[in-house]
Structures are given as C-alpha cells and as structure tokens.
Amino acid sequence: MTSCRKKNWLKQKTKGVEGYLINIVHEYLKDIYGFVQIDEERSLVKEIRAGCLQGSIIGPLLFNILMSNLSEVVKPNRVISYADDSYIVVYADSDEALREPYVTKLISKTRSLLYAFRYLRRHLSLSDLKLALNAHLISRLTYAAPVWSHSINCKLRIKLRSSFYHVLRILVRDFERRLNRKDLVTLFEMEDIVQVLSKRTSVFVFKLIRNLSPFKLGQRLMMRSYFNDRDPFKIVFFDLSKTKIGKHCITNATKKIVENWRFDWPLLSLETFKAKLSAQFQTEN
C-alpha cells in the first residue's frame, strides 16, 4: 500500500471514522489492476496502488480527506481549492522576494537531473536526447513562464542560461568548453532558454489579446488598453510599469512586451504570429 493511502486511513481515524468503515474502503481499493491500450497494442498489466477509481462516487470524498490539511502544510500562505484544483496564494513584500526563490528552485531541480542525463547520453541517440531535453529540462525551466519570466532580473537570467547550457555540454561531453552557446543550440536544434521564455510569454499575451485564452484574463487585459483613432487596428496599452503594486503582473507589463514585437501583428493568426516572432528572434540573434 502506498503512503498516500496510508495517510488517508490515518486521517479518517482522526476524523472519527469507524474502523469497520475504513476496512470496507480498504478492501474496495485493494487488488485493482490496469493497463494502457492503443489500437491493438497493450501494455503490461500492473497493480494500481495509489489514487481512487475515476468516476467513483466515493473518490472525491477520499481525495478531500487526503487534502484536508493542505492549508496547514503551506502556512502562512493561503490555499484556495475547488475539487482537485488548488491555488496557493503567497504573500511577500516585493515581486523580487516572490520570484527569486522560485527561479532558484527551478535551477536546483535542473541540477538534480544531471546524473540522469549523464546516464541517458550513453544509451540514447541524439534525436531521443532532444525529446528527453524537451520533456524533462525545457518543460521545467519554462513552467508557468508567462507569470514570472518577463520580470526576472539579469542575475537570474544568467543563472537560468548557465544551468541550461551546463546540461547541453554534459550531453555532448564538452567539458573543455570548446563549443560556444550558439553551436550547442544549433547541434540540438533548439533555442536559447531565455529566448524560449520570451516567446512563450509573447504567445500567451497574443492569445489574451485575441480572446484565445480564458475570457476573464482577456477582459482584464483589455481594460488596460484603448484603440488608436488614427490606426483602428492598433491597440495601445496603458503604461502601468511604475505602479506600486502589481507592476510585474503580466496584464500590467503588457505594454512593454508588445512594444518588442517589431512587426504588424493585430490581424495575424496564431500560427503566423509564432512564425513572425521566431523570425524576429533569429534576426536579432
């Protein structure tokens, strides 16, 4: 039995659930097996030792019991939960106090992958290594990028770049640093990590403007903008970068982000916008 189910049994006892009821639930979740089937191919059958049956009536209740003390674990922060979605509201005196620990944690997670990549380079081809990089490195370093990447300072950008290129050098055994950074990203057919962050943030803002994202976010953004009378297709955003509170919020930093787009974008489709943005980054580099 896995630790999450053990914790669930213990929590049920502390909440006054009788022993025989716990035994019933225990028997209900015991000896459950599953497999994955795609067309005619089927995976090995394995025992499912964690979680609850999807679609079961008692599943949500058991999940709520397991997560019931989440607010105590993340004190002094605030937790907002609905069903299986939870949001942690973190308080700090400044934006830097929020972002620096997060980015530092991202970098430390990247360092923990070094041993795994040393092992993979001996057993995978270059094409498979690219897939591993995107799945385990890029996805970690760019997680929730639109929330934080546009406002981190130069020091954190340097740290992000260093950790990214350190992994690439390990994969190609470039311990003497004979390859420059441009050669490394060309070899793996990738982009610089800071460039990837900028592109993802720009695409997110474009989706907000074009109503290709949640309505409330787009509505909040458009409240900070107006249309230019001389150019009906040009959207002008209010400069809120000097506000005391929330100046690094993406809806307040939109003016700065949009000004970096060196092409006419209001009438473009999403795919065309991505292509134009990539071409701009290539030209700048």
Global pTM value: 0.63
C-alpha–C-alpha distance, residues 194 and 108, integer Å:
17
More confident residue, 28 or 272: 272
Q: In the Cβ-directed half-sphere of 266, how many Cα atoms lie within 13 Å?
A: 8
pLDDT digits (tens, 9 = 90+) for 93-127: 666 666 777 788 888 888 788 888 888 888 888 88
More confident residue, 152 or 33: 33
**Residue 212 pLDDT more than 80?**
no
Dihedral, CA atoms, 199, 203, 208, 209, nearest 10 degrees?
100
Q: H or E stretch including 22? A: helix 19-28
Q: What is the mean pLDDT of residues 225-242?
A: 65
Average the pLDDT over each of 43-47, 202-206, 248-252 and give the range with the smallest value. 248-252
**Residue 1 pLDDT more than 50?**
no
Supply the pLDDT for residue 218. Answer: 67
Distance set, CA 163 to CA 102, 106, 114, 157, 219 (Å): 15, 10, 10, 10, 37
